[in-house]
Amino acid sequence: MPERLFVCTPSKLGAYTDCPRRYRYSYVDRPVPPKGPPWAHNSLGASVHTALKNWYMLPAERRAPEALPTLLKATWVREGYRDVDQERAVYRRALDWLESYVATLDPEDEPLGVERVVAAKTAVLALNGRADRIDTRAGESGPEAVIVDYKTGRSGLSADDARGSQALALYAFATERMFRRPCRRVELHHLPTGTVVTHEHTEESLARQVRRAEETAQDIMAAEKAVAAGADPDAEFPVNPGTLCGWCDFRKVCPAGADAVAKEPWTAVEHLSPSTGQAGQSG
C-alpha cells in the first residue's frame, strides 16, 4: 500500500521542530491536555492581522488610514492583558502601527490573495497554510507572486529571518504551483518599526526547505506509528527544554516545563504600556 500523505501546515511542522513533546500534546494526545491562559501578544497579532485583512476588503476608495480605528476596534481581541489600562495602551500602539503601515501602501493595489489558503502536495506532504498576503509584482519574464508576512513582535528582524523561515518558503512553494507563476520572493513586514526584510529564493533553496519539511514529516509519522504500536510516548516525543518552555501553553503539564520560569500572559506586551517591564519575545 502507498504511504498516506502527511497532512500538515507550516505551524504544525514548526511545533515538532521546536519541541516534539509540545507537538504530541497539541496533535497526538486526546483529549488535548489543558492549556494555560491566552497570551496577550497572540491577541495583539490576531487583531492587527484581521484589521489589515478587512482593510483590503474595503473598496479601494475607502482604503485610508481614517478607516483603521473602526476596523481595529471591530477585530480587537481582549484576552491576555494585565488590565484595562494595559489593553488600551496596546490598542493605541497597534493603531499607530497600522496607520503608519497603510500610509506606505497603494490603496489601488489588489493582492493576489489576503489571508489566502494555499496548498500543494509532494511525495510525502499534503501541505496547506494561510499566507497573510500574496502580492503580484512585475518580474523579468512576467508577473510574479510575492509572499508577505506581517510581524508584530518586539524584536527587530534581519534578512536571515526571511531566508531561514521554512513557513515562508513553503508558502512560496505552494503559491507557485497554485497560481502557476514564479514565487521566489518572501518578505517580513515588521509593523512596530516599519521595516521590511526580504529574501529571494532559488528553485534549489525552495527544494531544500521542502526536503526539510518532508524529513520532519517522516520523523513525526514514525513516532506516531511507534506510539500506536505500544511504544512509550515520552520516548518517541521527547521534550526539548529551553527558553521557549516559559512561553509554552502546556508548561504546567510538562515535567520539563514545570521547572521553567513562567511568563505572565501579558509579559510580551509590557513594553507597549506605560508601566514597562521585562518583555519577552512575541511572534
Give the model confidence (pLDDT) of 76-118 as tens digits: 999 999 999 999 999 999 999 999 999 999 999 999 999 999 9
| Cα dist from 138 to 146, 163, 272, whole Å | 10, 21, 38
Q: What pLDDT does residue 154 have?
A: 84
Q: How far is CA 136 from CA 143, 179, 186, in A?
A: 6, 11, 12
230-238: list long-range contacts, CB under 8 Å, 24+ apart: 233/24, 233/28, 233/29, 234/21, 236/20, 236/24, 237/20, 237/21, 237/23, 237/24, 237/28, 238/20, 238/21
Tell the burial category of 136 from Cβ atoms under 10 Å away from its Cβ (0-12, 13-18, 19+): middle
pLDDT at site 33: 95
Contact by Cβ (8 Å): 262, 246: yes
Bridge partners for 120 per DSSP: 127
pLDDT score at 194 = 94
Total-model pTM: 0.92
Task: Report the run of H or E that residue 36 belongs to, with start and end.
Answer: none
| pLDDT < 70 positions in the chain | 1-2, 275-283
As a dihedral over the C-alpha atoms of residue 256, residue 9, residue 206, residue 181, rounded to 10 degrees, the angle is: -160
Report the chain's C-alpha Rg in angstroms: 20
Helix, strand, coil in percent for the chain, rounding step 5: 50, 15, 35
Instruction: Provide the pLDDT for residue 260.
Output: 84
Q: Compute the C-alpha angle 257/259/264, nearest 5°.
A: 70
> How high is the pLDDT of residue 2?
65
